[in-house]
Chains A and B, each alone.
Chain A
Amino acid sequence: MDNIAGSKSGLTWVTHISVAILVFLWLFPTVGLFVSSFRTADQIATSGWWKAMFPATQNLQLRAAAPETQTELGGLYVIKGNLFTEDRRDQTEISVFGISSRAIDAFRPGETAELREGGTITVAANGDYRMENTEPFKGKRGQRVFVTSDIPPEFTLGNYDTVLGKDVVKRLVVFAIAGLVFFVVLRVLFKDIAGPVAKAAPAVGGIGLILALAFTFGLSTGTVEGAQTTDSMSNAFFSTLTVTIPATIIPILVAAFAAYALAWMDFAGRAVLIAIIVGLLVVPLQLALIPLLKLHLSVGIGKGYLGVWLAHTGFGLPLAIYLLRNYMVGLPRDIIENAKVDGATDFQIFVKIILPLSFPALASFAIFQFLWTWNDLLVAKVFLIDATGETTVMTNAIVEMLGTRGGNWEILATAAFVSIAVPLGVFFAMQKYLVRGLLAGSVK
């Protein structure tokens, strides 16, 4: 193939460019979410995320100090101050300003505008203003001033503070660096010592240190003021973990035994069973919602973690059995027969030989099931989430947020990114097994 491409260098270029375009298209939407999660609400609202590196023009509605702050100097009443500092904002350069909502760009900085109620206002480019009148300013509220100014690009961890709790990201980074350093130190120390303990020590020590730090110092230093209770994802994050891990491990165990029986044990009806499992592979789980919910209720499981674990186990089994059986059938026959000749029981063969050899298939199913349970919405909605609010999952938290925070992209993007960060990490770390599992499952 390479020689075709080599002989036509033009085609090679076309290939490179087409792949680059494809990758760009596929990556672009996710990058948008990622970038948006680090931008402030104002910035997101005023410019597209792809312009995040450039200053954005913003229209602000600011207010001068109230008339009660006016001072009198020889018959001239004056109110002065700075529009930005009074609004507790950073000072920026004003390009135009206005005093009526109908003409927000009527004046340049330094120009003087006539107020409708009498008097004048002068606004400087840095936001300093001075209002003058020969009569006292009346009313309760300060004069509205509309300014247009270029706001420099601004990135923040504030959204993560809102969604996860204050300082969580900073602390995670610090702890992770500490853990990594400890890992490297242990690696060097144990370099010359043999044995499994010494081999595992660096990794265990590193992760242990991270956990120890997290437990000692805590992850969050509190919640951000003004954050709505529904903004917090930390509960949902742990709930999702609680749903996911048992729902990944339990079906593997159950399926592994069944797959072994279907692959290596002789009994009547084996072929029929395999066919049934393949059939169940395509049954839409939508069918199961109501009957199973009713069943769970009548046996007293109700809605909760136990129910959702069982449901995920049931729904994950056909694929698990199918994948594992396909893999186990391919294991060399003589190993198993030799073991039998040596007097090993099926149970021993399974635990000592089949399980270790099947690790790649187990890993690939584990990844599938993990991704599927982590990303699930429907099963959690029906079997887990109830009105106590103790249990929610991140997908559901995001759907709720789409309702309450529809326009607050900074919160939405951050929450969504938090929820996809873990599966993305797992994906990139374990991609090899995922691909293997896909191939075992589909190519015949």
Chain B
Amino acid sequence: MHPALLGLLTIVIGVSGCIGYFYGSNLLLDKVIFPARGPNIGRNINRANLIRPWLFLFPAIFALGLYLAYPVVETLRLSLTDRDAGGAFVGLQNYSQMFGEPKFWEALRNNFLWLLIVPAGATGFGLLAAQLTDRIRWGNLAKSLIFMPMAISFVGAGVIWKLVYEQRPVDVEQIGVLNAIWLGLGGAEPQTWLTIPLWNNFFLMIVLVWIQTGFAMVILSAALRGIPEETIEAAIIDGASPFQIFFKIKVPQIMGTIVVVWTTITLVVLKVFDIVFAMTNGQWETQVLANYMFDKLFRANDWGVGSASAMIIMLLVTPILVWNVRSVRKETQ
């Protein structure tokens, strides 16, 4: 069967299945199990209403439990066992093996670099773009162009930036913009940007900053607009310069939003895989945890260490997890 037809069929089956489930289960509850008639009508309605939320929630809870909660536990278990030994419990052996590998420390170091630079870069540029575009007439057009990379896949972005970083021998015309500029500025010879240790990490990070800036800009721009006019007017009357207004009046007021943007991008960074996989595959000292894990799982075929490195990623997101949960708890109470 043609895959497009198959897809269509699945949409029909999936959607009608979902609707059928919700409709049918409600019907069953209301008409058969606890019918809203007969002697026990009041009790039946109450009982039905006790159960109904769970009917509504069941598919979601089931999927969440299976696809997100169970893997956390299972990964933890795998990280403590050795598959070659028939899945025997080996304690922290996988972890100690991983800690003994220089590649792991390289990945961890790089991940920290990414964590420092990408959220800062994207939030900084986003704030700048938000502030500047709010003041001009063609701001909306500018915003949507800066926002555009958000729609581009990491792999597509990888190709786009590989073209930017492309290198040709010195006596041949450069086709990568960066090298053309580099030579134009008097650089002696073209650089292979993606293989210069340490620096290449920054060239990879630029790609993610490029993608995430639009996101930061959109949210920060909404926050900037939400600042009460009076505070700014008061500052103008006091003779504050535009820079003072921006840094002393506006930024403090939207600090909460900045933190949200920062943490959201941090989450993206922790999971970054495609960019590194497509552009360097972790070579030339650009390894990151997510790609290290993929390597361990599928190249070295070492599920123990692979799972252990996945747990490290989990550990790194845990503070954000706790913080998010706490702020939501505060809100809903």
Footprint of B on A, CB under 8 Å?
1-5, 8, 11-12, 15-16, 18-19, 22-23, 26-30, 32-33, 36, 44-50, 56-57, 238-239, 241-243, 245-246, 249-250, 253-255, 257-258, 260-262, 265-267, 270-271, 273-292, 295, 305-306, 309-311, 313-315, 317-318, 321, 345-347, 350, 371, 374-378, 390-391, 395, 398-399, 402, 409, 412-413, 415-416, 419-420, 423-424, 426-428, 431, 434-435, 438-439, 442-444
Contacts and interface: CB of A to CB of B under 8 A. Distances in A.
Contacts of A266: 53
Contacts of B78: 290-291
Given A15-B132, A435-B218, A290 B59 contact: no
A314 B276 CA distance: 25
Nearest to B175: A48
19 contacts: A1-B232, A15-B136, A19-B136, A33-B163, A36-B163, A48-B175, A239-B3, A243-B7, A261-B56, A274-B332, A282-B321, A289-B310, A346-B52, A374-B153, A402-B159, A416-B156, A419-B156, A424-B151, A428-B148
Contacts of A283: 68, 71-72, 314, 317, 321
A81 to B, nearest CB: 29
Given A48-B177, A371-B150, 4 more contacts: A284-B270, A287-B71, A292-B71, A402-B158
Given A22-B142, A282-B320, A431-B147, A287 B72 contact: yes
B23 to A, nearest CB: 7
A280 B332 contact: no
Contacts of A409: 163, 166, 175
B69 interface: yes
Contact of B75 (A287, A416, A438): A287
B314 A290 contact: no
B166 to A, nearest CB: 8
B331 interface: yes
A117 to B, nearest CB: 29
Contacts of A267: 50, 53-54
B295 interface: no
B267 A282 contact: yes
Interface string B191-230: 0000000000000000000100111001100110000000
Given A23-B142, A271-B333, A305-B7, A48 B180 contact: yes
A250 B290 contact: no
B332 A442 contact: no
Contacts, number: 345
B146 interface: yes
B253 interface: no
A260 to B, nearest CB: 6
Interface of B: 2-4, 6-7, 10-11, 14-15, 18-19, 22-23, 26, 30, 49-50, 52-54, 56-57, 59-61, 63-64, 66-72, 74-75, 78, 125, 128-129, 132-136, 138-139, 142, 144-156, 158-164, 166, 173-177, 180, 210, 213-215, 218-219, 222-223, 232, 236, 242, 245, 256-257, 260-261, 264, 267, 270-271, 273-274, 277-278, 290, 293-294, 297, 303, 306-307, 310-311, 313-314, 317, 320-321, 324-325, 327-329, 331-333
A424 B148 contact: yes
Contact of A253 (B18, B53, B61, B177): B18
A412 B155 CA distance: 11
A16 B134 CA distance: 11
Nearest to B309: A286
Given A4-B242, A286-B271, A317-B64, A398 B159 contact: yes
Given A15-B136, A50-B177, A377-B154, A246 B10 contact: yes
A253 B75 contact: no
A245 B4 CA distance: 10
A22 B277 contact: no
Interface majority SS on B: helix, strand, loop or mixed? helix
Contacts of A284: 270-271, 290, 310, 313-314, 317
Contact of B67 (A46, A288, A424): A288
Contacts of A427: 147-148, 150-151
Nearest to B227: A1
Given A242-B3, A375-B156, A443 B50 contact: no
Contact of A47 (B71, B175, B310, B311): B175
Given A47-B173, A241-B7, A29 B161 contact: yes
A295 B66 contact: yes
A342 to B, nearest CB: 15
Nearest to A314: B67
User: Which one of B6, B53, B213 has the greatest number of beta carbons of chain A within 10 Å?
Assistant: B53
Contact of A32 (B22, B72, B133, B164): B164
Contacts of B267: 282
A375 B155 CA distance: 8
A103 B107 CA distance: 49
